[in-house]
Amino acid sequence: MIALIDYDAGNIRSVEKALAALGEETEVTRDAERILAADRVILPGVGSFGDAMGKLHSFQLVDVIKETIRRKTPFLGICLGLQLLFERSEESPGMEGLGILKGEILRIPEKDGLKIPHIGWNSLTFPNPGRLFEGIEENPYVYFVHSYYLKAAEPSIVTAETEYGTLIHASVEKDNVFACQFHPEKSSSVGLSILKNFISLT
């Protein structure tokens, strides 16, 4: 069973539908026992960094997430779910992230006439091998919706990058922790392949 963590932060239903299309059993939950019993766990999310961290604390999910990762359960953060895994965000000064991975979330610079938020399809390059992208050719297009981006402190964990006014660390992998700034559930066949790779992890 795949647990989708429910903390009132957005795109859970679209992720649930994509996994159902792949034939996967999912459960939308904020129950600690159900999350810890899951074979895989996904932290989706859209919205603001500070509000989301506040909800994770109010639902007592911070320690549950950390324990899930400590147990080596495959864990996937999507969009805001990626950002929350890191230490801090310019969007919410003074609010600490989960701090599971090292790095910070910065605002996309307003230059070259680029619209903020970044909404739409961008191609990925793969600086390091990543298990989410096995069997996927270089420069696939995936769907983004965000105003803030990841600058990871450890280049070795960055498995996908894109350019939008700056270099964006679009996906990371460290041990059993995976995350994507883009939305695989909205990224057509490429996104389904990414989710399928996550499902196939041992």
pLDDT at 44 over 90: yes
Per-residue confidence at 88, pLDDT binned at 50, 70, 90? very high
Residue range 155-173: mean pLDDT, rounded: 97
Per-residue confidence at 7, pLDDT binned at 50, 70, 90? very high
Please tell me the distance from the alpha carbon of residue 29 to that of residue 165, in angstroms, as a whole number.
37
Per-residue confidence at 202, pLDDT binned at 50, 70, 90? confident
Tell me which fold the domain 2-199 belongs to. Answer: Rossmann fold (3.40.50)
pTM (predicted TM-score): 0.96
pLDDT at 11 over 80: no
Has 79 been annotated as catalytic?
yes
Among 118, 146, 169, 183, the active-site one is: 183
Specify the pLDDT at position 112.
Answer: 79
Has 146 been annotated as catalytic?
no
Specify the pLDDT at position 90.
Answer: 98
Please tell me the distance from the alpha carbon of residue 169 to that of residue 200, in angstroms, as a whole number.
24
pLDDT at 10 over 90: no
Query: pLDDT of 111-134, one tens digit each?
Result: 878 999 999 999 999 999 999 999
Residue range 156-181: mean pLDDT, rounded: 98
Has 180 been annotated as catalytic?
no
Map the chain to HEC letters. Answer: CEEEECCCCCCHHHHHHHHHHCCCCEEEECCHHHHHHCCEEEECCCCCHHHHHHHHHHCCCHHHHHHHHHCCCCEEEECHHHHHCCCEECCCCCCCCCCCCCEEEEECCCCCCCCCCEEEEEECECCCCCHHHCCCCCCCEEEEEECEEEEECCHHHEEEEEECCCEEEEEEEECCEEEECCCHHHCHHHHHHHHHHHHCCC
Among 16, 91, 161, 185, the active-site one is: 185
Specify the pLDDT at position 198.
Answer: 98
* Residue located via tokens 């859209």: 46
> Whose CA is closest to 86, among 164, 3, 179?
179
> Whose CA is closest to 187, among 46, 86, 79, 106?
79
Q: Where are the domains of the chain?
A: 2-199
Specify the pLDDT at position 194.
Answer: 98
Among 79, 91, 146, 161, the active-site one is: 79
Within a 10 A sphere around the Cβ of 66, how many other Cβ atoms? 13
Specify the pLDDT at position 9.
Answer: 80
Specify the pLDDT at position 22.
Answer: 96
